């Protein structure tokens, strides 16, 4: 599932036909996805956790509601890094789509999304799972996000990119390889 999705995301497969208006439920679904993703990443709240192979379904349904033509397989179920990458990439694409219609509100939504990711990661107990989730979040943002969905408005675009490239430094630490790679990757996407 996740390799197929990652390949489609990298190829800009989230981009749909030119829509004439924003989905009326995109904003509410977006914030619902933020809340569910944060709880899902953290785990232990009764709603499942990343890597259990099943609990991502409600979040995936929200993503597919706004990208219905997107096909997903079931290849890497049960791997927390891969599940996190798919969900993070999908929700980030929802934010990008939102920014296309309401650029400054989209930029603010990105900040809320980044805060949700960082707070969710902080709540995970230290260990291998925490490291895998951090790698999944970074992969989802850096490689599973379709930047063609992002607004073209200059100010909002700068804010979105600045927020997204700060995530790796917050998760992995300032100056780490992951943080530097993310910074370079997102800086190149501004062009």
**Dist. CA 98–CA 149, nearest whole Å:** 9
Entry pTM: 0.85
Of 58, 77, 82, 97, residue with least CA distance to 7: 82
Sketch the domain layout of the chain as residue ranges. Answer: 2-9+23-189
In the chain, % of residues over pLDDT 90: 32
Lowest mean pLDDT among 16-25, 83-92, 167-176: 16-25
């Amino acid at each position: 599932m996740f390799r197929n999705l990652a390949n489609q995301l990298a190829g800009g497969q989230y981009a749909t036909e030119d829509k004439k208006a924003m989905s009326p439920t995109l904003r509410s679904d977006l914030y619902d996805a933020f809340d569910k993703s944060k709880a899902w990443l953290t785990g232990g709240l009764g709603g499942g956790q990343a890597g259990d192979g099943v609990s991502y379904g409600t979040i995936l349904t929200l993503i597919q509601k706004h990208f219905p033509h997107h096909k997903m397989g079931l290849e890497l179920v049960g791997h927390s890094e891969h599940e996190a990458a798919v969900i993070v990439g999908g929700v980030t694409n929802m934010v990008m789509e939102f920014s296309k219609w309401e650029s400054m509100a989209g930029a603010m939504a990105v900040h809320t999304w980044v805060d949700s990711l960082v707070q969710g990661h902080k709540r995970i107990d230290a260990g291998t799972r925490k490291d895998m989730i951090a790698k999944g979040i970074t992969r989802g943002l850096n490689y599973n996000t379709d930047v063609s969905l992002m607004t073209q408005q200059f100010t909002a675009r700068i804010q979105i990119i600045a927020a997204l490239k700060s995530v790796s430094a917050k998760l992995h630490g300032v100056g780490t390889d992951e943080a530097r790679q993310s910074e370079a990757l997102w800086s190149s996407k501004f062009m």
